[in-house]
Structure 1
Amino acid sequence: MPSVGPVPMPVVVILVCLLLAMGIARLWSSRQPVPQRPSGAGRVLDMLLVGLLCGRVSFIVANFAFYREAPWSMLQIADGGYHVPVVLVAALGWGLWSLRRHPSLRVPVLCSALAGAALWGLGSYGLAQWQANTLSLPAVQVVDLQGKPLDLAQFHGKPVVLNLWASWCGPCRREMPVLAQAQQAHPELQFVFLNQGESLDEVQQFLTAERLALRDVLLDEPAAASTVLGVRAYPSTLFFDAQGRLQDLHLGELTHAGLEHKLRRLR
């Protein structure tokens, strides 16, 4: 899986672009020192934080019907719930407003921020293309709850949501009802719940205790899928198109709104 340790590559791309933008702003603005002038790098960071806050609030408002069922999930900022256009507009607006008394900083800060945004766009696009071209639904031998052997690659033909989980994993248990509801609501998508490293009895006991009605619960006792895909933590959810190409991934617990956002892009 494209990640640096437990950190997903999309987050790494954002951090790298932020550091580059802050570095450019700091070097550029320091060429003409002005007494009591604020930090250009600090202004770039402020623009990102304000943009992310506004983008998050916008996403929550647009998807409030989902968040109303679980208000605590509004605080799960890692669920991918941000409106990118709002982030960019809010960041630019904040930058212009905060620099109104520091005209000498406008060009270096705004140009650095725009450079960082452009690099992020290019990096995200390149990462998405790399994922789609190099990572595919793996041909791993698994078994269903009746002990019948299956090849994971047989699910080609329509978009697949592959959830790698284990019953001892707290976040896995918490997100299962969200995924179960999505499976019922989206019959056009193939949801596959691939347990990693546990026996049939352990999985059956978990499903019975939680009263979960899930289709396509499969067992991968040697955790071969995790090895092939490079997964290091659970839950991990991967989104493949109808041709089996990886389109998106999520490390950690999914919220209802965050999952719906990813499913809209998958269809």
Structure 2
Amino acid sequence: MASVGPVPMPVVVILISLLLAMGIARLWTPRQPVPPQPSGAGRVLDMLLVGLLCGRVSFVIANLDLYRDAPWSVLQIADGGYHVVAVLVAALGWGLWVLRRQASLRVPVLGSALAGALLWSVGSYGLATWQASTLALPAVQVLDMQGRPLDLEQFRGRPLVLNLWASWCGPCRREMPVLAKAQQAHPEVRFVFLNQGEHLDEVQQFLRAERLELQGVLLDEPGAASTALGVRAYPSTLFFNAQGRLQDLHLGELTQAGLEHKLRRLR
């Protein structure tokens, strides 16, 4: 399973870890004095939000050159552009600072945050290991732009970016130039643009209208790849290593910086 509905599994792991940490903090926090203090669960949530903000700012600063052409994409926080170390350090620093005068909350909040972070680490590692061992390039028959059949499994041997898209999908259309640019910049990576559910003439008309020069455009009219991979939202971009094992997944529109970050980790 690559997602739960439109929500990617890594986000599900984060949400479960957050809910666990907030639940522990709520149960662990002593009874409220008068006047009442902020809740322990609220402090855990604050730590996460501050950490994510700092992790995002750190990533943007480190990749300013990639955001220069499209500065608005800084606001696309779902592109996966975060520095994990910055998130953890900022969250811990914020927690220590805000709890310096709230001794009764210090241990429950920091302990709950640690439990959530450990669950996220273990869950993320377990999810990545499970996906790599079970989610491989499916044995799905698709067609090239000349109507000739081929099997997706034949693309093993090189790192692969598999983009599932449709011409009626607005985010798909917006991210196509980003993917086209990355395809030219990374010849060591194979890009496959697998259209879902449309006829050949529809795809050709779209490519002509958008003046896109893409290599590796394929047709999957019955949407067999989406079914096999458990993907239910477009655009979806899957990153496979040279052995054909899933290494990363992104649901939604990719920014240039977010895509480059994922390509750097693709082996």
> TM class, shorter-chain normalised?
over 0.9
Greater shift in the superposed pair: 242-251 or 219-228: 219-228
8 Å Cα contact 2:195/2:217 also seen in 1 = yes
Ranges in structure 2 where 5+ consecutive residues have no aligned partner: none
Structure 2: how far apart are the matches of 1:65 and 1:189?
22
CA distance in 2, matches of 1:70, 1:33: 48
Q: 1:118 corresponds to which residue?
A: 118
Question: Partner residue of 1:39?
Answer: 39
Provide the rounded CA distance (Å) in 1 between the counterparts of 2:7 and 2:218: 27
The correspondence of residues 1-267 of structure 1 with structure 2, limited to 5 A, is: 1-30=1-30, 32-35=31-34, 36-267=36-267
The 2-side partners of 1:223 and 1:19 are apart by 35
Q: Deviations over 1:51-101 (max 9, x none)?
A: 000000111111111111111111111110100000000000000000111
Determine if contact 2:55/2:83 at 8 Å carries over to the other structure.
Answer: yes
Structure 2 CA distance for aligned equivalents of residues 17 and 91 of structure 1? 15
Shift of the alpha carbon at 1:146?
1.3
Question: d(CA) in 2 for partners of 1:242 and 1:249?
Answer: 15
SS of alignment partner, residue 125 of structure 1:
helix
If the length of structure 1 is used for normalisation, what is the TM-score?
0.97
Displacement after TM superposition at 1:243 (Å): 0.5
Whether contact under 8 Å (2:163, 2:192) holds in the other structure is yes
Distance, in Å, in 2 between the alignment partners of 1:33 and 1:186 is: 57
* Alpha-carbon distance, 1:2 to partner: 2.3
Conserved? CA contact 2:162–2:194, under 8 Å: yes
Distance 1:206 1:166 in 2: 10
- Alignment check: 8 A CA contact 2:159 2:266 kept: yes
Is the Cα contact below 8 Å between 2:47 and 2:94 reproduced in 1? yes
Which structure ranks higher in relative contact order (CA pairs < 8 Å, sequence separation ≥ 6)? 2
Percent of aligned pairs sharing the same letter: 82
Q: Distance in 2 between matches of 1:26 and 1:137?
A: 43
1:9 is displaced (CA, Å) by: 1.1
Aligned residue-pair number: 266
Deviations 1:213-263 (A, max 9, x none): 110101111111111112211100001000100011011100000001111
Structure 2: how far apart are the matches of 1:216 and 1:2?
A: 23
Runs of 4+ in structure 1 deviating by more than 4 angstroms, as ranges, are: none
C-alpha distance in 2 between matches for 1:110 and 1:62: 29
Q: Which runs of 5+ in 1 are unaligned?
A: none
Please state how far the C-alpha of 1:200 moved relative to its aligned partner: 1.0
Given that 2:195 and 2:221 are in contact with CA atoms closer than 8 Å, whether structure 1 keeps it comes out as yes
Encode CA deviations 1:154-207: one digit per residue, 9 max, x unaligned: 000011100000111100000000000000000000100001111111111111
